[in-house]
Amino acid sequence: MNSDKGNIVQSLPGLAISQDGRHWARIEGDNHSGTLFDVGVENEWDSLFVSAPRVVFYRSGDMRMYYHSFDKETGSMQSI
């Protein structure tokens, strides 16, 4: 999902599931836009955008999402 914030287009992660890999159903998140989460609040490292989310299996039954953003304080790309 994309939304405008000044001159920056934000990519926000969503969630969809499929039984067959062809037909998908979107799962609405708690965020006002239906995404899983929004960018960080002003001056947090991920307040500009969220990019390239990846979900990985961590342990049995446990999945984690990692993503990139740009920290305007340090002027560098950050990941979580």
The residue range of the domain holding 54 is 2-79
Predicted model pTM: 0.60
pLDDT interval class at 5 (50, 70, 90): low
In a 13 Å sphere around the CA of 12, the CA atoms on its Cβ side amount to 23
The count of structural domains within the chain is 1
Closest by CA position to 55, among listed 42, 39, 44, 66: 66
In tens, the pLDDT along 11-63 reads 778 888 899 999 999 888 877 777 888 888 888 888 888 888 888 988 888 88
